[in-house]
Structure 1
Amino acid sequence: MAITSKWREHIEAWQSSGLSQAEYCAKQQINVHTFAARLSDFRKLPKSDSAVLIPVQVAPTETVDAAILFTHAQGHRLELPTSVSARWVAELLQCLA
């Protein structure tokens, strides 16, 4: 079954509520079995269906040649030449999400 925006909102609200499923359903007057079924459907969705924000910080590079540099908080670095297309970088970021 497709997850409607209403069920997606309920699932996200439950996840941030700190309540058990039963407690959330009781407060929202939702059938707990229906909620569990929609949650199961939601969890089966491909991960790429969920929007993910990746923090990006623009900083000058240490090299002389212009480049695109991605630096992770744990120190990992990915340096790409400026000749790489923006579309390829977007596809790469989607794969990493």
Structure 2
Amino acid sequence: MKALETSSVWRERVEAWARSGLTCKEYAAKIGVNPHTLAGWRWKLRRRTAATASTKTRAPAADLVDVTEQVAAALAKEVGVIEVELGGALVRVRGEVDAEMLVRLLSAIGGRR
């Protein structure tokens, strides 16, 4: 039997055991397998399910950006930094600021309260 086939066979056995209402020892005797092996497969399958679920709910990793000489030079020429805390959000704007855009941004954040 291949590993994938073995896993699917044991998954079916473990699911049938859960539906049966029998103890591990009783169900293992009924189907002719070692109760320790049956319990071990239940543990292994639960771990796989939990690991799969946790990777699905995890936030995607942030993209990394290389800092190039151009970006570093642009940051070095910045004229200042504006920081505004509004509604629990911190807005940090660097460099030249378009006043209209800043007003729209702050209005949007302020409206979320």
Give the TM-score, by structure 2 length: 0.38
Structure scoring higher RCO (CA < 8 A, sep ≥ 6) equals: 1
Tell which structure's C-alpha radius of gyration is larger. 2
Give the TM-score, by structure 1 length: 0.44
